[in-house]
Structure 1
């Protein structure tokens, strides 16, 4: 999966690719990130055939904590 430039076009925006053993762990990781920063939330989880575990992608604004307003 390719990262598109419009998603990270300014400082403080990040794309986080998550690799986990199972869906429960991936969801827990996304929930933890969501408590730390403003993120895209719990995103779809997928499995790559032939690879162990699952993957997910989260977009985060590391300049803001959850609940802050610009």
Structure 2
């Protein structure tokens, strides 16, 4: 179902920052950074939302302080 792909994409996008840092140090090789088995339009959209949400949240917080 499309909403499951979207939710998995958001979840994997949010946790991708942690997985990326762990991958840099050579650990956790059995967990992929991007789940190619779920690749599709809704998963990709959710992944981008999840990856971008910490960045966009930080930009919004910085603007409100000014």
Same fold (TM over 0.5): no
Give the structure with the larger strand fraction: 1
TM-score (norm 1): 0.27
TM-score (norm 2): 0.28
Give the structure with the larger helix fraction: 2
